[in-house]
A = this chain, B = another copy of it.
Amino acid sequence: MSKGNKQALRKSINCRLTDATVVEMQNIEQAFVIKSSNTPSVTEEKVDGHSSEEIINLDHGDPTMYESYWKNVGSKYTVTIPAYQSLSYFSNAKNLCWFLEPKLEEEIKKLHKVVGNAIVQDHYIVVGTGSSQLIQAALYALCDSLNEPNPISVVSAAPYYSSYPEVTDFLRSRLFKWGGDARSFDEDGPYIEMVTSPNNPDGVLREPVVKRAKGMLIHDFAYYWPQYTAITSPADHDIMLFTVSKCTGHAGSRIGWALVRDQNVAKKMVKFVELNTIGVSKEAQLRAAKILEVITASCQRVKPHDLENFFEHTHNLMAERWKKLQDSVKNNKLFYVQKYPLQQCNFTGDFTETYPAFAWLKSKEGIDCEKLLREHKILTRSGRRFGSDQEYVRISMLSRVDEFDLFLQRLSTIRRISSGNSEL
């Protein structure tokens, strides 16, 4: 490891465990909260790769991998916002989604056209504070007008995104409730199925599984972008959710958008965002518009610019990381990762595997995989959180390069000391 890399690593790893430390991983922020008599401190020593003193946090999908691309882009694509701009609540009072910045709407349309991953025509665009807000907006929109006596069940096939149950139930709404694994759902009446494709956590391309007459679908397409998967056809569903977080890496902006076919559903979603947050930050929308503009420009064959094709660049990064991970576990008796089928991508024209944003790592039967990795100071999210088993963990593939390499290095050592694990 070079000296420069070590310095970067010192910055990227900012927690140190003491004996008295208990790490809680119930949710995204707790994964960072180190309960200790000492305040967590920056590790200034022992950063030589596999010291047991450092935590590698791959529990959440923080997309810091993308920073290097955006640093190379340079200052030309900086956003500047003068003090007098965007004071009003309104972006375009004549639009159904009155808080959607026209520039963002334009860039969303252009990007979908260039990538070919969704049909925008005949859909309304509703912007949200991340796609999390839009999931809740869609649940509200679909349930509020039905006037059902009981809450409508929200289901998704296991393993499902670990936030769906909590986001559905935290306010104990009478409109909807979490209904669990779609495969075992057998109630009559209306229901909502979340279809995540490629799926979080396991990267599988998905279709609905319940398929009953009274079903309503929300397609979560956070990962349906060319760096992760072949774009096999433009998606064309009633409610499709996207987010800049996993597309461009700008998770801090909290910008998502929904493509919604039905006008009344779109209006109700807008109503939700109005009641919940009175619209969506204008600064974040203007920045997201600029970022999407850069990405679209980077895909143009005739280049009026010096931008490297964003999706090619990040696709190559993902392929490289997945190859490294597969190599790392190939001769390992403890861990397995899934292989994905080759498919032709309409965006690149080439055949490609899926390179998911998360690895869905399986350990040998009987092992509590999350616990085992935690003993080695690798924080991941247990399969149990996704309606699956303790043998599985979800591991972010989107960390900074030094963290990722350190993770692989440490993973490879677990094989050698695995007999010391109490569960083996």
Q: Say whether, besides A71-B84, A89-B62, A249-B87, A254 and B277 are in contact (CB < 8 Å).
A: yes
Residue among A32, A78, A253, A276 facing the most chain B CB atoms (10 A cut-off): A276
The answer, yes or no, to whether A5 is at the interface (CB within 8 Å) is no
Q: How far is the CA of A295 from the CA of B81 in the complex (A)?
A: 17
The reply to whether A277 and B277 form a contact with Cβ atoms under 8 Å apart is: yes
The reply to whether B63 and A250 form a contact with Cβ atoms under 8 Å apart is: no
The reply to whether B294 and A281 form a contact with Cβ atoms under 8 Å apart is: no
The answer, yes or no, to whether A369 is at the interface (CB within 8 Å) is no
The answer, yes or no, to whether A306 is at the interface (CB within 8 Å) is no
Interface size on A, residues (CB 8 A): 79
Q: How far is the CA of A73 from the CA of B83 in the complex (A)?
A: 7
For A272, the closest partner residue in chain B by CB is B170
Determine how close the nearest CB of chain B comes to the CB of A59; give it in whole angstroms: 12
The answer, yes or no, to whether A252 is at the interface (CB within 8 Å) is yes
Q: Say whether, besides A84-B71, A172-B175, A282-B253, A89 and B28 are in contact (CB < 8 Å).
A: yes
Residues of B within 8 A of A40 (CB): 94
The answer, yes or no, to whether A203 is at the interface (CB within 8 Å) is no
**Given B15, B63, B80, which contacts A79 in the complex, CB threshold below 8 Å?**
B80
Determine how close the nearest CB of chain B comes to the CB of A54; give it in whole angstroms: 14
Determine how close the nearest CB of chain B comes to the CB of A85; give it in whole angstroms: 8
Residues of B within 8 A of A130 (CB): 277-278
The reply to whether B84 and A73 form a contact with Cβ atoms under 8 Å apart is: yes
Residues of B within 8 A of A249 (CB): 87
The answer, yes or no, to whether A206 is at the interface (CB within 8 Å) is no
Interface 1/0s, chain A 65-95, versus B by CB < 8 A?
Answer: 0110011010101111111101111110110
- CB within 8 Å of B: which of A20-49? 27-29, 32-33, 39-40
Determine how close the nearest CB of chain B comes to the CB of A36; give it in whole angstroms: 11
The reply to whether A170 and B27 form a contact with Cβ atoms under 8 Å apart is: no
The reply to whether A276 and B278 form a contact with Cβ atoms under 8 Å apart is: no
- CB within 8 Å of B: which of A215-261? 245, 249-255
**Given B29, B80, B275, which contacts A167 in the complex, CB threshold below 8 Å?**
B275
Q: How far is the CA of A199 from the CA of B173 in the complex (A)?
A: 30
Residues of B within 8 A of A283 (CB): 79, 81, 252-253, 281, 283-284, 286-287
The reply to whether A250 and B78 form a contact with Cβ atoms under 8 Å apart is: no
For A32, the closest partner residue in chain B by CB is B93
Q: How far is the CA of A89 from the CA of B92 in the complex (A)?
A: 28
Q: How far is the CA of A271 from the CA of B89 in the complex (A)?
A: 26
Interface 1/0s, chain A 166-194, versus B by CB < 8 A?
Answer: 11001111110000000000000000000
The reply to whether B63 and A87 form a contact with Cβ atoms under 8 Å apart is: yes
15 pairs from A and B in contact (CB 8 Å cutoff): A28-B278, A40-B94, A62-B88, A62-B89, A62-B90, A64-B87, A83-B290, A87-B251, A91-B252, A129-B281, A144-B170, A167-B275, A172-B175, A252-B282, A253-B281
